[in-house]
Structure 1
Amino acid sequence: MSSSSSSPDIVSILENSKELDRLRKDQEDVLSEINKLHKKLQTTPEVVEKPGDNSLAKLKMLYTQAKDLSDNEANLSTMLISQLDVLLPPGPQGQPRRRLGTEQKRKRVKTESDISRLTPSMRNQLEACASLKGEQVAARVTPRNADKDEWFVVKVIHFDKELKEFEVLDEEPGDDEDSSGQRQYKLPMGNIIPFPKSNDPSSAQDFPPGKHVLAVYPGTTALYKATVVQGHRRRKTDDYVLEFDDDEEDGSLPQRTVPFHTVVPLPEGHRQ
């Protein structure tokens, strides 16, 4: 391709690159405003009840702006890729080198900017996951080809924001494990449910009677499906009274008292 025909294309690519930088700066500005409003609402949530307050409407507008900017960035990135494909030389000799270079560049860009380009809600979710280091959580550690979900209490060692993956430690493996020592696992975010904090009863949900939950069976470090017998606790620090599935004694399910901070919502699609 001659320089006269490619020059306008290169100018267009450079202009689109500048526009991409502008979009990212605008996203950072909007994200900063969202974080400020989040902090305000966390500090003084009662402000939304005051007449004339527009905090929630402003938050919705900021989220809409963030989504529009993100969509524009994605469209512009797609356009830039198409423009570069036109300029790249064809042929089998250049193909492997170009593919390798593109993959390396894509991997580097993802590593450097993936987290910064996340939506505020996803970023907050990742930060919350990272803050679980050292905490005990409920984890689905299901053996391969198993026909049911198995949940255990494990300790979070590390959370990788880029891979969105937890590294956890099963401190008390059961008697049926191959090894009697502690075992480590790497699990995706969807396999982890944080427990309510024992020193913060307000972090616990108030499950109504009849609600299905996952709960630590008394005297074990395993979680099983259970049904709430007594909900709407008078105090947030009160324990739950539950009936565990498959826990029959003399033909009936015994009611067991379980601390509030060892009960979590039953995940959708849970396999018994």
Structure 2
Amino acid sequence: MASSVTGGGGAGGSGPDVGGLMEKAKELDQLKKEQDEVAGEINKIHKKILASPEMVDKSVDTILLKLRALYTHAKELSESEISASNALIGMLDGLLQSGASTAQRKKIEVGEQKKKRIKSDTETPRFSAASMRNQLDQAANLKGEQVAARVKSDDEKDEWFVVKVIHFDKETKEYEVLDEEPGDDEETTQRKYKLPMSCIIPFPKKGDPSSAPDFGQGRQVLAVYPGTTALYRATVASHRKQSKNSYILEFDDDEEDGSLPQRAVPFYRVVALPEGHRQ
């Protein structure tokens, strides 16, 4: 693979601007509204079942299928909320690390305070607290799992690797992870890192293709380069087929003989490209 895979630097990138931050916040608000709508639909069905148990006997398949679809949608929205929240955290880190001026930070704080006052009329604190608990519980459940982790980041590029979650601290909101296969230049055979939630992306479940996002042709993703434990930016060249459960990808800077070769990568080693990714 070309320089980015073997360690060469990519083009420099600046941190996210305030406008991008606000857009991502709007996306998170919309996800929460959709979650409320789905929860309302689920509650309606539950109430109907309690009020008319005989209804279940008459159309049990229809009711169960509808409930399954609603719960599946709720799960997808929850996962999207985690992804959007992680992206917001990463964007805020980028603003802070890029040396945002005091005036810019003040503008963000004032905007956030105004947004909180507006949202207080439409959202209950219990929902926000429950959402945070849900995120923390899902993070804790990753213990022993392999995940994608941004272990290094500078002004020029981010470095993502496959690591194993050893522990998640709910107080500090930090993961302790183990890089089981570090590079040849590492002094030890294995290396541990402590990373914030914004640096971790869970992989889809290996035995459950339905847990994977359905990336379409032309979509940019972050994927494990075949034969390595490193993740790089790639473009989906061929839509995933249920029979094969692999994406055909073209990795950036992977040029051979003037063209990008197409490589098959299992669905459980492909995740959404993080906001502001540098390679």
**What range describes the TM-score normalised by the shorter chain of this pair?**
0.5 to 0.7
1:256 corresponds, among 260, 263, 269, to: 263
| 1:235 equivalent in alignment to 2:242 | yes
Question: Judging changes above 3 Å, is the alpha-carbon distance between structure 1 residues 175 and 192 closer, same or farther for their aligned structure 2 residues?
Answer: same
**1:147 CA drift (Å):** 1.8
1:46 matches 2:56: no
Q: How far is the alpha carbon of 1:121 from its aligned partner?
A: 1.3
What do the CA deviations read for 1:132-177 (whole angstroms, capped 9, x no partner)?
Answer: 000000000115x452000000000000011110000000001132
User: 2:230 & 2:69 partners in 1: Cα distance?
Assistant: 42
Q: Which amino acid aligns with 2:144?
A: G
User: Which one of the candidate residues 165, 181, 186 is aligned to 1:156?
Assistant: 165
CA displacement, residues 235-266 of structure 1 (integer Å, 9 cap, x when unaligned): 17521000000101011100001111000000
Corresponding position of 1:110: none
1:246 to 253, 271, 274: 253
Equivalent residues in 2 for 1:79-158, closer than 5 Å:
119-142=129-152, 145=154, 147-158=156-167
Letter in 2 for 1:173: P
SS of match in other structure, 2:152: coil
In structure 2, C-alpha distance between the alignment counterparts of 1:44 and 1:164, rounded to whole Å: 37
In 1, the alpha carbon distance for the partners of 2:142 and 2:121 equals: 31
Name the CA distance, whole Å, in 1 between partners of 2:269 and 2:69: 33
Asked if structure 2 preserves the Cα contact closer than 8 Å seen for 1:139 and 1:192, the reply is yes
Q: Which residue of 1 aligns with 2:230?
A: 222
CA radius of gyration, larger in:
1
Q: 1:130 to 1:65 in 2, by over 3 A?
A: farther
Structure 1 segments unaligned to the other structure (5+ residues):
1-32, 56-62, 71-116
Name the SS of the counterpart of 1:163 in structure 2: coil
One of 165, 168, 174 as aligned partner of 1:165: 174
C-alpha distance in 2, partners of 1:191/1:214?
13
Q: Percent identity?
A: 63
SS in 1 for 2:177: strand
Cα RMSD for the two superposed structures: 3.1
Counterpart residue number, 2:277: 270
Q: Provide the C-alpha distance between the structure 2 equivalents of 1:136 and 1:49, rounded to a whole number of angstroms.
A: 28
Closer, same or farther: CA 49–127 of 1 in aligned 2, 3 Å? closer
Distance of aligned partners of 1:235 and 1:164 in 2 relative to their CA distance in 1, 3 Å threshold = same
1:48–1:206 distance in 2 versus 1, CA, 3 Å: closer
Structure 1: 4+ residue segments shifted above 2 A: 47-50, 63-70
Q: Which residue of 1 aligns with 2:221?
A: 213
**Separation of aligned partners in 1, 2:243 and 2:158:** 29
**Other structure's SS at 1:241 match:** strand
Which residue is equivalent to 2:210? 202
Distance 1:162 1:170 in 2: 23
Question: What's the secondary structure of 1:172's corresponding residue?
Answer: coil
Distance 1:48 1:230, change over 3 A: closer
Q: 1:239 to 1:256 in 2, by over 3 A?
A: same
Could you state the TM-score of these two structures normalised by the residue count of structure 2? 0.56
Structure 2 regions of 5+ residues with no counterpart? 1-38, 47-62, 75-118
1:119 is displaced (CA, Å) by: 1.6
Residue type of the alignment partner of 2:206: S
2-structure distance, mates of 1:161, 1:45: 35
Q: Which has the higher contact order (CA 8 A, sep 6+)?
A: 2
What count of residue pairs does the alignment treat as equivalent?
A: 175
